[in-house]
Chains A and B, each alone.
Chain A
């Protein structure tokens, strides 16, 4: 069974029929070539397949492709500028040594991007909570957290009086 859906990926419009059995991850990777989204568990436990849908992180392995109808999707391939310049989040991940094997990296960069672009303030605990849907086996999360905090500079409040003081 097929269903026609229209959506955008990194600003480019797509409109075609998808097999209702496919996940959004299947469509992104196998039909559109956005292989930056990785499959690590297929059940929404690891976060390697996360992309931003209308600005919010979702696990695409458990997101049916038909649900993408009308959505704006952003994958890791759409984070850097068109001229190749890295986003601040990407730069922070590079500089802080937040990358090892790199398999969890696209998802984490995207979730951090969503946080940075939300304009919200976060405590350190909240940053950790927002990243907690991504498993990483290489880094012990130490430099990932540093990179996220660096990306959120100005959003991770450091003033002692504030409820957002990160301690």
Chain B
């Protein structure tokens, strides 16, 4: 039994936003894999829940006419992983999806819930950061688009205003077309685990040089983050072990790792340096570049 005071279902987005406007105390629940666990742990008490599970329109994944990838916030991790479009166009997201939890969790946890939970360890986050994802937030009186980097404000804190619902995650064509990527989740266990570090990279390769590199990291700071200095450095550089080594070093500069009982700052930074390079090596090949040996 959960300490729930009330439970309401919305069947459409407008119904949900209307209910939210009426009762700002409503706590949104999508797959429940975060909310219910908080209730179990006592971090949330006497909750009034607004369930989004009946809003089928939010489960769709499609490519818009302009090439923008549109992922409904209520798409589960299993749906994301199994979606042929995403697997072809942005495999770093589907790989991140399959690395999350176990099958039963993936069958119910949603990508929107994962993002709105605001955890730096969110398995989708480093990939969505590397892909420059935009979030569509809907309120009763309108909608707005927020880049994912501006959405994560702090541990468990996101830029979701009262009354707003995350409806879609958008990835623009210029952010994924022509890129190759790689995602690495480093954790103690191969399943059912929280990442010690999540690394997602995408790159564009032009005649042996990096045309563009984007690096998203999870658990390297209080929020997921990008390694802008490393990315800037990489631009136009020859793809070589030396360049990768330098990118690895610069990536550490962007990281804001802290020591916790889960891992030390030093170890996390070491992993950032090492795994960024490992991910990039494969990303280069995925982007059509030559394999570094």
Which one of A3, A26, A44, A56 contacts B33 once the chains associate, using CB atoms below 8 Å? A44
A59 within 8 A of B: yes
**Do B191 and A64 have beta carbons less than 8 Å apart?**
no
Knowing A62-B36, A62-B37, A135-B192 are in contact, say whether A129-B3 is a contact too (CB < 8 A). no
When the two chains form their complex, are residues B37 and A133 in contact, meaning their CB atoms are under 8 A apart?
Answer: no
Cβ of A64: which chain B residues have Cβ within 8 Å of it? 2, 7, 32, 36, 51
Top 5 A-B residue pairs of the complex, sorted by shortest distance between their CB atoms: A133-B102, A132-B191, A20-B7, A133-B104, A59-B104
Chain B contacts for A3, CB-based, 8 A:
7
Is B105 part of the binding interface, using a Cβ–Cβ cutoff of 8 Å?
yes
When A43-B37, A44-B37 are in contact, do A133 and B103 touch as well, CB less than 8 Å?
yes
| A21–B4 touching, CB < 8 Å | yes
A130 touching B33 by the CB < 8 A rule?
no
Chain A residue at minimal CB-CB distance from B31: A62
A121 CB within 8 Å of chain B: no
**Residues 46-72 of A contacting B (Cβ, < 8 Å):** 47, 50, 56-59, 62-64, 66-67
Cα distance A163–B179 in the bound complex, in angstroms: 25
For the complex, what is the distance from the CA of A122 to the CA of B131, rounded to whole Å? 30
A44-B7 contact in complex given A62-B33, A64-B36, A132-B190, C-beta closer than 8 Å? no
Can you list 14 contacts pairing A with B, beta carbon distance less than 8 Å?
A3-B7, A20-B7, A21-B2, A26-B1, A44-B33, A57-B103, A58-B104, A62-B33, A64-B2, A64-B32, A66-B7, A66-B9, A67-B51, A132-B103
Does B142 lie at the interface of the complex (its beta carbon under 8 Å from any beta carbon of A)? no
Contacts of B33 in A (CB 8 A): 44, 62
Interface pair A44/B1, CB less than 8 Å apart = no
Q: Indicate if the CB atoms of B103 and A129 lie closer than 8 Å.
A: yes
Decide yes or no whether A45 CB sits under 8 A from chain B: yes
Task: Point out residues on B near A: beta carbons under 8 Å.
Answer: 1-7, 9, 32-33, 36-37, 40-41, 51, 53, 98, 101-105, 107-108, 190-192
**Interface size on A (CB < 8 Å)?**
31
Q: Which of B1, B104, B191 contacts A23 (CB 8 A)?
A: B1
Least CB distance from B117 to A in Å reads 14
Known: A42-B40, A43-B40, A44-B33. A63 touches B108 (CB 8 A): yes
Interface contact B192-A58, CB-CB below 8 Å: no
Residues of A within 8 A of B53 (CB): 67
Smallest CB gap from A111: residue in B = B103
